[in-house]
Amino acid sequence: MNILINDLLKDFRATTKNHTPEKIAFIGVDGFDVYNPSIPFFYEGAYHLFGRIEKRTSEVSIIGLFKRITKTSYGLIKDFEAYPLQDPFLTVIHGTYILGGTFVDWTTKTWFTRFYHGPTLDQLTHLVDAPTGMKDVRLIELANGKIGVFTRPQGGLARFGVIGFTVVDDLKDLTREVMTKAPLIDLFEEASWAGVNDCLLLEDGSIGVVGHVAIFDQERIRHY
């Protein structure tokens, strides 16, 4: 039986305690917004994160590397290469840094997840692109050394967008065909949209997933 989004929302509101969030200030990007960042990560002795940088009136963006200044402020590292991506994420697979995000081809108005890899963040090269139209592809090194691959196809059996999952032995095995054929994890009701934002290996060897889910109304408007 599929999970109903409204039931999830009721459970969330009934069990979630009040929090006291704080706004993060991003230094060095005057005139631009920074949002949809990666999770903070420790690199070269300090906490960093990647952030999506763009004008308020545009979706043409780059991702920049920010270094933590205080608990609630990060400064842009200006000499780090800015990648033409949206919604960045970072993981480490077999000792290799994997930087990814959504690449948009504004000429053809198509998009897909793009991956870069390298031994350090300033030695990244292109790894692979997801199939056209596929956002929210995420990778995780499993307890047995293999690589878990979360996908998010759309259309056909995947409807508006359903999470898929498969396993490969090595980064060289990660291809568009593998991502296209990943079995679907059909958790939610039919008129829904779901994707993985981040994943982590838990102590028992299972995978914890942070994701998003939305439901479409009759006018095709998404409600997260």
**191 and 160 in contact (C-beta within 8 Å)?**
yes
Q: What is the CATH number for 25?
A: 2.115.10.20
DSSP H or E stretch at residue 208: strand 207-216
pTM to 2 decimal places: 0.92
Place of tokens 């030695």: 123
Q: If you write DSSP's letter for every residue of 106-159 in order, what string do you get?
A: TTTTEEEEEEEEESSTTS-EEEEEPPTT----EEEE-TTS-EEEEE---SGGGT
- Number of structural domains (the chain) is 1
- pLDDT, one tens digit per residue, over 61-98 is 999 999 999 999 999 999 999 999 999 999 999 999 99
Nearest to 169 by CA among 153, 199, 148: 148
Residue 78 belongs to domain spanning: 5-223
Nearest to 27 by CA among 81, 103, 95, 78: 78
Specify the amino acid at residue 40. Answer: P
- pLDDT, one tens digit per residue, over 15-48 is 888 788 899 999 999 999 999 999 999 999 999 9
